[in-house]
Structure 1
């Protein structure tokens, strides 16, 4: 048996364990810490030095899990020799009968199928050695022992070590026990180091995490930037219960680390360290962790949507690092694809000149970022194999996340059928479009089941095409669906004579909550289009919809024909297009209500684009349901347009809105705002919607769904519903025809 001497002044061999694939990074770190001969090895890195160097590694290593001090390495003829080899070690040099110990086993030993067998053999040997020498023995305490003993088996070799760390070194002390987090502290530090944060921080660069969760990446980044020892918050290490503990050397290390921390905190105030997250509970946890780390006020955490993510200061430049969800925190793949595409858009639009690093288990999702990685590192988050994708956010590395169109020679006969159908539809709609003055229209709506797309043509100062793919059912082969999409994206620009960069693609699926209005990007690029002489701003990139619902074209036209001299109310107004028609139709006053400030501002711009101004045109940001209730008995209107979403929820809304469930109550409340002779137009796009005529029997109801269905949507008549409602004493209405 090879036993190792342990004089405090002599050199010893140490072994530092690390998460998988981090041995080389750990060896580099140990070398920077001044360790002699630090080299990567299986499961971590080896180095040599005095006991003080082992302590320094415990205090300063950001990567290591444990620092082990080997006592002996033995070759075993069989498992039965474990006890005898353990009995030969001078455990009394490291432990007293009054202290406690625990044993951990890693690796594999030939002939040992259960690690607990090896642990029991060593425990018995330690107990017997102490009983023979002192007549009493130290106790086992698996939770809080004075000394931890580590066993490592490799084939027929067993290594006995002291664990100088105690608890794993990733437990810095600022995260409370049991707090859930996707990243351990040492993995977070490793990601930052791999992403080049040390050099960026040395140059005074900024650090930003747009999905910060409990704040681990930002806090570890702060510790690196301020040269703060990650172990300084811990009040105990494994060597504190070791009988050979060199406390003088340890106190000297602590004093040095505290001086460096004081100097580092003064420098840290100049850094821009920011973490955002959509979850307010996560932000509260991050702020609590920041305070526990002794860094309160030196990093900024704030609740923000990804779409609202910007550099903290105008001249900031540095590193954006993010660990986005990759299957466990969200669910559907299409949700994640959209999220990654949105993240890529934010980076490309607002962080040019920065470095970026994205840690994900899915390289396929990484492709949705629309950025070409300059480095890739394989790492593990627990048992999950992941990739750290490093980017230089420069236009040179920008790539489109849209499916690449297939060249003509690679297309199937189905692509020719699609091209022919587009030509046929354009020809059939040409005369109607020209006579009606329609610039924006639907030219294809899943006419061929194999190509499940909605294709809208927008003509303005230029021509644009908005393509939405209906999410395919699970029975459809994803590869085949992808190929058909690529065929379609090759055919569409050719047939419609439009550059490919003016074709915008999105995936359309059943909307939940306020997803329909969720930002996909923040380009701020708007284009003016015309409809029946009215002008509107549309945006093809930032949202799922463009700001102009084409299937409501004839409903808007009807509103314009009824508005002369009327007080008009537009509820759930979106971008205010119906208000434009009413105002241009001669409405004496208009009131436009929506919960979203973004869309209300958009509505204001639409009014301005049409030269509509004056205090008689009000824009009100409010929860429509609460606003309706507050106006009963206060205001009345002659013409009301009620077009609620099918389902909606928002942090600013009170409860949820389900139009099938709630429409009777909403209509009854809204009718109380309508003048006795007034008209209410109620519309929605829930395809399976059924109006409860019996519950609304107090009102005169006329179904205008067919009458207000535009010709270009005739193939799918259930795309919207529209009813005219009047009070029973109102004059019979015959002036509602489009």
Structure 2
């Protein structure tokens, strides 16, 4: 146990987020502490009690300050208990104080931290009972926090001197959507060189400020405000070694510095964001701080970045924490966002620039000279701070186009396709069609246009392709799509195309439930570009659906494996009575909505949720026109068995033909690229391969997209 005299030197452990340790060590030295070593836990240092109080007030980087109480070798539960009993706990905190144990670490004899915490708690209570006759109460929000760490065979016991995490400054009660912790924000600013710029009276802009954490931390640095000055509770409040007069002297000194710093503040701070909810959080956070009125928040798009000519000329730092694109669906908007960020900051060519990102590839759009990269962890996400200098001749050149380098070949191919397809689409009254389908193997995406939206599917690259290289190519594609197609990034949806089997056949990609109507022939159909891998409309079957419309008048139409019943809509509008069968209740309801969209009463038609194989075996009705487009493979739990279309197609066709009236037509289709119809097994039927005719113009680049047959009764 360390003594508590005024001159006594203590050993301290200052914990911090991973990657910040060197900065924290510098901060400790600046405050007057003696750094012993940096560890993966933080920084171990020496200093007296006054310095510890000063550290709690002034550390911008630490998360906790721990006072070591005991360490010893332990090799079983009993030894752990005895080690905890060896501390004179009544000399650490009073019987009336409540306490909690934070236990970290596992070994072969202890793999439950809750049990470890219980043993330490038992030891503390037993010591109190023996020495005082009473026992302190345990509380999850206890006045006292004891931290126990079990590592490398040793038990380390600490008194949590600071209490709640030091990153909680007290101003951020509304955190925003993806907040930075305050100590991480401070580390970003220090690495970006803000303290030196602020000392010169330079300015700071965060053009994607969110709830304003970077700006608040920057303001406190510039105004010499101790980050802990507004905190009301500290871990040391209940420590028996606490010397309140020394603490209050440090608080008074910090208040004097704050008053002087605010009086001398020359830096101007600007926060912009397009999200009003985020800005509301930022302004409310600001109002709770000493910086109220010292930071300007405004709703503004990144492209509208501007400050007064006076501020622009005086220089400063542009710093931001833009979205990283953790979800694949976010990338279409982010690829051009980083380019717009570069373009906007070119209005401030002499300013420094710092970008904190979890996706360095996105930041390739920033064409300033980069002179430093720093690694950080933002929670579980590996991130980098990229620090750029003033714009040079290359970065200052106006960039008329994002189409440069290897992606130019992709852009040229897509442009060529567009020229042909848009003329064809206008002539044929087609509003949804495929623009590109891995025409260049290195750009392995499928791009479909749905009215004025783009639906982009990335084919998962083979393991032989470097993952980082594939992602860079994808980002290049997303960056140039708005320019080549004229469709804004906000209307581009990205998904990853993988084989869907079993449960994943109906697995959601998102939960936005946004449906939009699209036109096809004489009907409208609902598509959902975001929630599922497929959109609700198979574009390669457009000619088949239009053919069904031309044949359906007055017919009884059966649509097997109907999906969203789009073919049934065409048939019903043409005057057919429709029976639509599918296993999925979701898609059948979607089909009913498609009927309603076209002023058809779905109750006048049949929508049947069933395993199509079983339903066909039991079917006793007869139909004039049948469309059967089964999946290539299915092992859904709703099915009795496993469907393999190559193996099972003969049985399927025979059963469907039993339901077909004499003179009727079965249109049988599937998407197995190497499918071979067993004509010998179906020798009694009149079969015509219409695959070539059924593949539309926009799919001719991949003519084996599906196989399609017209099948009638023989004789």
Deviation at 1:340, TM superposition (A): 1.0
Does residue 1:227 correspond to 2:224, yes or no?
A: yes
Task: From the superposition, tell whether residues 356 and 420 of structure 1 become closer, same or farther in structure 2 (CA, over 3 Å).
Answer: closer
Match of 2:324 in 1: 326
Does residue 1:188 correspond to 2:185, yes or no?
A: yes
Match of 1:387 in 2: 384
Task: From the superposition, tell whether residues 138 and 83 of structure 1 become closer, same or farther in structure 2 (CA, over 3 Å).
Answer: same
Distance 1:419 1:231 in 2: 56
Which residue of 254, 272, 276 maps to 1:276? Answer: 272
Distance 2:438 2:157 in 1: 67
Q: Secondary structure at the match of 2:109?
A: coil
Match of 1:244 in 2: 241
Task: From the superposition, tell whether residues 481 and 126 of structure 1 become closer, same or farther in structure 2 (CA, over 3 Å).
Answer: closer
Match of 1:473 in 2: 457
Does residue 1:450 correspond to 2:439, yes or no?
A: yes
Q: Within 5 Å, give how 1:613-652 maps onto structure 2.
A: none
Q: Secondary structure at the match of 2:25?
A: helix
Task: From the superposition, tell whether residues 17 and 512 of structure 1 become closer, same or farther in structure 2 (CA, over 3 Å).
Answer: closer
Deviation at 1:367, TM superposition (A): 1.3
Distance 1:337 1:407 in 2: 14
Query: 2:333–2:489: 8 Å Cα contact kept in structure 1?
Result: no
Does residue 1:217 correspond to 2:214, yes or no?
A: yes
Say which is worse superposed, 280-289 or 389-398, in terms of deviation: 389-398
Which residue of 278, 283, 286 maps to 2:282? Answer: 286
Does residue 1:208 correspond to 2:205, yes or no?
A: yes
Task: From the superposition, tell whether residues 486 and 9 of structure 1 become closer, same or farther in structure 2 (CA, over 3 Å).
Answer: closer
Q: Secondary structure at the match of 2:279?
A: helix
Q: Deviations over 1:85-139 (max 9, x none)?
A: 1111001111121111111123444532111122111100111111112211110
Match of 1:338 in 2: 336
Match of 1:299 in 2: 295
Q: Within 5 Å, give how 1:533-572 maps onto structure 2.
A: none
Deviation at 1:397, TM superposition (A): 6.4
Structure 1: gaps (5+ residues) = 430-444, 453-467, 490-502, 517-660, 663-714, 717-738
Query: 1:74–1:85: 8 Å Cα contact kept in structure 2?
Result: yes
Q: Within 5 Å, give how 1:141-220 maps onto structure 2.
A: 141-143=139-141, 145-176=142-173, 181-220=178-217
Task: From the superposition, tell whether residues 112 and 173 of structure 1 become closer, same or farther in structure 2 (CA, over 3 Å).
Answer: same
Q: Secondary structure at the match of 1:73?
A: strand
Which residue of 115, 118, 122 maps to 1:117? Answer: 115
Does residue 1:508 correspond to 2:485, yes or no?
A: yes
Structure 2: gaps (5+ residues) = 424-433, 442-451, 462-466, 494-596, 599-696, 699-715
Match of 1:105 in 2: 103
Q: Within 5 Å, give how 1:514-529 maps onto structure 2.
A: none
Q: Deviations over 1:265-323 (max 9, x none)?
A: 1122x321010110112112111111111211111111111111113534241011100
Does residue 1:359 correspond to 2:356, yes or no?
A: yes
Q: Secondary structure at the match of 1:350?
A: coil
Distance 1:91 1:55 in 2: 22
Q: Secondary structure at the match of 1:387?
A: strand
Query: 1:27–1:38: 8 Å Cα contact kept in structure 2?
Result: no
Task: From the superposition, tell whether residues 325 and 509 of structure 1 become closer, same or farther in structure 2 (CA, over 3 Å).
Answer: farther
Distance 2:332 2:166 in 1: 38
Query: 2:176–2:278: 8 Å Cα contact kept in structure 1?
Result: no
TM-score normalized by the length of structure 1: 0.57
Equivalent pairs, count:
463
Distance 1:486 1:113 in 2: 47
Q: Secondary structure at the match of 2:355?
A: strand
Q: Secondary structure at the match of 1:117?
A: helix
Match of 1:58 in 2: 56
Distance 2:61 2:13 in 1: 13
Deviation at 1:202, TM superposition (A): 0.8
Distance 2:402 2:488 in 1: 21
Deviation at 1:44, TM superposition (A): 1.0
Deviation at 1:34, TM superposition (A): 1.0
Q: Deviations over 1:671-707 (max 9, x none)?
A: xxxxxxxxxxxxxxxxxxxxxxxxxxxxxxxxxxxxx
Say which is worse superposed, 176-185 or 122-131, in terms of deviation: 176-185
Q: Deviations over 1:22-68 (max 9, x none)?
A: 11110011111111235422221111011111111111000000001
Query: 1:102–1:148: 8 Å Cα contact kept in structure 2?
Result: yes
Distance 1:305 1:420 in 2: 29
Distance 2:471 2:174 in 1: 47
Say which is worse superposed, 287-296 or 20-29, in terms of deviation: 287-296
Which residue of 356, 366, 369 maps to 1:369? Answer: 366
Q: Secondary structure at the match of 2:457?
A: coil
Q: Deviations over 1:435-465 (max 9, x none)?
A: xxxxxxxxxx96998269xxxxxxxxxxxxx
Deviation at 1:398, TM superposition (A): 2.7
Alignment RMSD, CA only?
3.9
Query: 1:110–1:156: 8 Å Cα contact kept in structure 2?
Result: no
TM-score normalized by the length of structure 2: 0.59
Q: Secondary structure at the match of 1:474?
A: strand
Match of 1:405 in 2: 405
Deviation at 1:328, TM superposition (A): 5.0
Say which is worse superposed, 252-261 or 153-162, in terms of deviation: 153-162
Distance 1:294 1:330 in 2: 40
Q: Secondary structure at the match of 1:506?
A: helix
Deviation at 1:507, TM superposition (A): 5.1
Distance 2:60 2:474 in 1: 49
Match of 1:688 in 2: none
Distance 2:436 2:189 in 1: 50
Deviation at 1:378, TM superposition (A): 0.9
Match of 1:28 in 2: 26
Deviation at 1:394, TM superposition (A): 1.2
Q: Secondary structure at the match of 2:458?
A: coil
Match of 2:535 in 1: none
Match of 1:9 in 2: 7
Distance 2:184 2:291 in 1: 20
Deviation at 1:327, TM superposition (A): 2.2
Task: From the superposition, tell whether residues 9 and 447 of structure 1 become closer, same or farther in structure 2 (CA, over 3 Å).
Answer: closer
Deviation at 1:505, TM superposition (A): 8.2
Query: 1:342–1:369: 8 Å Cα contact kept in structure 2?
Result: no
Say which is worse superposed, 28-37 or 322-331, in terms of deviation: 322-331
Task: From the superposition, tell whether residues 383 and 276 of structure 1 become closer, same or farther in structure 2 (CA, over 3 Å).
Answer: same
